[in-house]
Chain A
Amino acid sequence: MRARLEYVLRFGDSALVLAQRLCALVAHAPVMEEDVALANVSLDLFGQARLWLAYAGELEGAARDEDTLAFHRDAGAFRNVLLVERPNGDFAETTARGYFYDLWASLAFAELVRSKDERIAAVAEKSRKENAYHLRRSEDWVVRLGDGTEESHARMQRAVNELWRYTGELFLADDVDTAMASGGIGFAPAALREPWLERVKTTFGAAALELPVDPWMQRGGKQGVHTEALGYLLAEMQILPRTIAGAVW
């Protein structure tokens, strides 16, 4: 059960942290239309996180619900991939981060809908439809900015170069991944790399972007070793329920 809990937390925390990143952009997007669109994506991801974390709470069996898991864990207990905790940066960085994640998630959910764990399969099925739209948007923006003006191209190229080092972790397996894959509950992360990379190449081709040279790939998020960026994000997200005990909407 411990491995399954860890596994579910990875998906739940990744959705939660990206949702929190995106909701910080509300009222700060380049145009009003984009503001609403980013908020929609953020809300979708909060909804997904809620389903994952509610299940994680049940697996843990320690009477912690999804809110407790979201608001009363420290950075070291979070299992999100490093990619999603990266700061919003400029709009190109927000776009690149979203695109890399959305594309990976679309492949991951396509695997998870066949999970032997019915709860995981059900959450993946719901998430898959939302994710398909997120990917459509983020991919469109990669192409628009990459194949846009001189400045948007330069910023987009810089953003993908900068974030590339956080994509390696998506395809790295540890004991948890291996146990879940062999039990028919999860998938082998490495199997997603080829289709992911192929699609990225196609998109970058249309966007006139160069594929970054593989740098040293950062890792550790799935095991709870995070960049300092996550601490600041959690401080902002958690301050209210941690300051006022029992605060509810």
Chain B
Amino acid sequence: MSVTVRIPTPLRRLTGGQDKVEAEGQNLGEVVAFLEGEYPGIKARLCDDSGELRTFVNVYVDGEDVRFLDGLTTATGSGNEISIVPAVAGG
């Protein structure tokens, strides 16, 4: 159940400079936990103290904003592309 995760610049220091990594997980929360195992510290950057996605982080699964889906419980599966994009842009 491998997914591809696109990593934005502010997080690339944690991924050794990689802008794209592979991860596993049946849903987005599991993918984040997987990433935390591989790249310690990344979860705290994506999620706040209560474990929810931070206000200024947008996450997309195959181009769809997960806030239109099921947030961290959004199902993920083989071949999905997950994009992490800073929210402070545009307008």
Q: Do A and B bind each other?
A: no
